[in-house]
Chain A
């Protein structure tokens, strides 16, 4: 396996699109109901936890970019091979592929659950899985340019929904936010840790990096993207806190969509039905990017055809999503992946950077 990746010129895309990739992959299923989980830990100071989590993403992304800069133009698979050697590298890369697939699985399964709960209680889960996976296969086989294009366009079709927060804002009680800083530092950090599932997704940087036209601009757009996501989350968190009472927020599962209840237009009520349907545009980038990165890994490590890997992963995702048929199982998956993601996304980049840097340093010495 070549450690550096030099994609063909027609596959490269402009760096500003990285912003949309980062946001597209971060915003997904978590934003539908992350408020309750954080609120459990940090109470009405949850918005501070969101800020802490946001700052931490900048730190991690900075380390990721530093690691990638050591190599010039490569992805995580190349770094693994260089750092750990062939066999250990393959094991680590395979683990990471599993992690990526789990990301796709969580988005897929949770979205299906939302659709089932709100819109079609009687429809079977496998049906929606087939439809979503069909879109995924069609998109991923279009290649990275199509995927990035989808991230780009989908943001424009969904971001206007932030404006709808004006409706719950009309019922805001600012007093709910005070007293500020009632929660202890530990509680705030715990709350921030609970944000993991919602805020991860920027690790896609590791895989998309070689496809950037101007790699030196990657940092700027990554951080802009992270900032945008954090601002969105912060806004949603604050509005939720001042809209719901403490008891309500602890009971609402899909807090964000519940807020849409108050929207009333002359031709439209119960906006959450529209919102949930539109949300397919927000979860597709997750599915596309995670699966693309995973199939790319199979190509890079095992020299598979990316198409074959795509078909295999589609079948795997389908099988597992059928197996996860109860709320308990899905919850267990979410909890597990939350912890798993925390170590992979937040801890591992630091370790990898230190090892990679140390190896480079050793080589230079010799």
Chain B
């Protein structure tokens, strides 16, 4: 394992391994500086050292060519420095003449090494022990595209990309308020990944902010690549199959959650934001539910709940009733069932597992295949396997309908994580149904119920608003009431500022002919 949770009280050992042990400050001579930098960075071929002869002083630039924007260095640094008129300009004079916003004066070598890796440029002046750090970071980033995994018909069509700055900017665009706080944290001893924790001050609960900050800062690991890794490390129960914190790629969704008093975590290099605390039911909601009218949204949400139950229980019920309880099947239904199963040599359990596996193969292959080859998947899956399996007498037609329905239902779950969870749960349920029939299904159901009752998300109950029952949050769970009902923030987040607007005035009704 490359990580473990750090015990409290142990101080962070600071960056000592990377700089040379005897030097903590910037040397005054250029030669010495070059030697120091080269000794620390070994022979990195993309490190550029550029010297400028200026009357009286020698100026040297250090930067990584791969991390910086060449145009900025040429236009905003080099040309400015060459045109400097003063005979021996001071550090402050140079700083004032540079047309760049982010410039820092530093003496610490550690800071120099660290910022060089973030795409900054170091300007060293012969004979001075402090130097200028200039932000010249410039890297090509993926353009802002439409959300792929959480695609909507209505609403904003923009998703996060891999740049932390852009992602934070996207959220700031939605919430233009000084109350939106952005706390910068750092995770990973080697990778030094930048992590931002966002919340709205006065809305998000202080306790939640502290808990989340503590969970992130107490992590001790050497690498962090993606937010989906971070979420597994800071979840309440990482052993559970259920995701306890939401991952979303939609800035509008994150903003809406922040305004409810939740917290968001952005990780540099990851197009997914972590939102917490989350509840079970939230994984079955989308931001589109708020963009369409409330009755439509309610209908779709109920549809998704039905789909979830179907997806988990339909195939197991088929297996259980055909294996043990054929008495429950009415005689009119029994005939077509028997006819379609007459040729099948396998017991229902085996038959169902086989078909479920085929569906899972299809799904996984479809996800991994390049898009050009992907079209063949439909043909392979639909015709070859479906048709041929029935004709060969491997499975019954009815089971194909049931399994396909279950798979289809599991894809209606908006959250990819939760959809996968539901598909995984299906397999033990089918096994239980095949071994102990209806009793087995209910055993599995009870186990799931107890398991869900035991979970929490950032300390908040996972099954809220169903248990503990919270009427206000129930209005926005399986149903989505009209907006006048949402005058208060969610109970779940324990928001400090609870009210959104005046409920009485919103609900005022007119009399006839007024």
Contact = CB atoms under 8 A, between A and B. Distances in A.
B290 interface: no
A119 B443 contact: no
Given A142-B454, A149-B453, A150-B449, A268 B328 contact: yes
A277 B437 CA distance: 9
Interface string A104-120: 00000000000100011
A273 B463 contact: no
B327 A146 contact: no
B467 A278 contact: no
Contact of B443 (A14, A123, A135, A271): A135
A154 B463 CA distance: 14
A269 B439 contact: no
B330 A267 contact: yes
Which of B324, B438, B450 counts the most A-chain CB atoms under 10 A from its CB? B450
A175 interface: no
A272 B328 CA distance: 9
- By size class, the interface of chain A is 35 or more
A160 B277 CA distance: 32
Given A120-B324, A153-B466, A278 B442 contact: yes
A152 B443 contact: no
B373 interface: no
Most buried by B among A128, A266, A271, A274: A274
B446 to A, nearest CB: 5
A149 B447 contact: no
A27 B330 CA distance: 30
B468 interface: yes
B449 A153 contact: yes
Contacts of A267: 330, 333
Interface string B331-346: 1110000000000000
Contacts of A145: 453
Contacts of B443: 131, 135, 280
A142 B439 contact: no
Given A149-B463, A153-B467, A281-B442, A269 B330 contact: yes
Interface string A239-271: 000000000000000000000000011111111
Interface string B136-173: 00000000000000000000000000000000000000
Given A266-B330, A276-B438, A135 B467 contact: no
Nearest to B329: A269
Nearest to B467: A149
A123 B439 CA distance: 12
Given A153-B467, A284-B446, A277 B438 contact: yes
A271 B446 CA distance: 20
Contacts of A167: none
Interface in B296-353: 324-325, 327-333
Contact of B437 (A120, A135, A138, A142): A120
A115 B441 CA distance: 13
Contacts of B451: 138
A135 B328 contact: no
B438 A152 contact: no
A161 to B, nearest CB: 13
B469 interface: yes
A13 interface: yes
Interface in B448-485: 449-451, 453-454, 463, 466-469
Contacts of A128: 439
Contacts of A284: 446
Contact of B328 (A123, A269, A278): A269
A297 interface: no
A135 B327 contact: no
Contacts of B463: 149, 153
A103 interface: no
B330 A150 contact: no
Contact of B436 (A120, A142, A149, A150): A120
Contacts of A269: 327-331
A269 B437 CA distance: 16
Interface in A70-122: 115, 119-120
Q: Mostly helix, strand, loop or mixed at chain B's interface?
A: helix
A54 interface: no
A139 interface: yes
A277 B439 contact: yes
A123 B440 CA distance: 13
Given A14-B468, A119-B324, A276-B438, A135 B450 contact: yes
Contacts of B436: 120, 123, 131
A13 B468 contact: yes
Contacts of B327: 269-270, 273
A67 B86 CA distance: 94
B399 to A, nearest CB: 16
A17 B441 CA distance: 27
B469 A152 contact: yes
Interface in A139-175: 139, 142, 145-146, 149-150, 152-154
B453 A150 contact: yes
Nearest to B317: A274
A154 B333 CA distance: 31
Listed residue (B438, B439, B442, B449) with the most chain A CB atoms within 10 angstroms of its CB? B439
Contact of B439 (A120, A150, A152, A154): A120
A280 B466 contact: no
A154 B445 CA distance: 11
A164 to B, nearest CB: 14
B370 to A, nearest CB: 43
Contacts of B469: 152
Contacts of A150: 449-450, 453
A11 to B, nearest CB: 13
Contacts of B445: 281
Contacts of B449: 150, 153-154
Q: Which of A138, A153, A271 has the most CB of B within 10 A?
A: A153
A271 B330 CA distance: 11
A152 B468 CA distance: 9
A138 B449 CA distance: 11
Interface string A13-45: 110010000000000000000000000000000
A131 B441 CA distance: 12
A280 B437 CA distance: 13
A138 B438 contact: no
A332 B330 CA distance: 39
Contacts of A273: 325, 327-328, 438
A13 B468 CA distance: 9
Contacts of A281: 442, 445-446
Contact of B330 (A14, A149, A268): A268
A150 B448 CA distance: 11
A153 B461 CA distance: 14
A119 B450 contact: no
Contact of A138 (B332, B439, B442, B450): B450
A278 B447 CA distance: 13
A274 B438 contact: yes
Contacts of B467: 149, 152-153
Contacts of B454: 142, 146
A276 B454 CA distance: 26
With a 10 A CB-CB cut-off, give which of A149, A153, A267 has the most chain B CB atoms.
Answer: A149
A267 B329 CA distance: 6
A153 B325 CA distance: 27
Given A13-B468, A277-B442, 17 more contacts: A17-B468, A115-B439, A120-B324, A131-B443, A135-B443, A145-B453, A146-B450, A149-B453, A149-B468, A150-B453, A153-B449, A267-B333, A268-B329, A269-B330, A273-B325, A277-B441, A281-B446
6 contacts: A119-B324, A119-B438, A120-B439, A128-B439, A153-B466, A270-B327
Interface of A: 13-14, 17, 115, 119-120, 123, 128, 131, 135, 138-139, 142, 145-146, 149-150, 152-154, 264-271, 273-274, 276-278, 280-281, 284
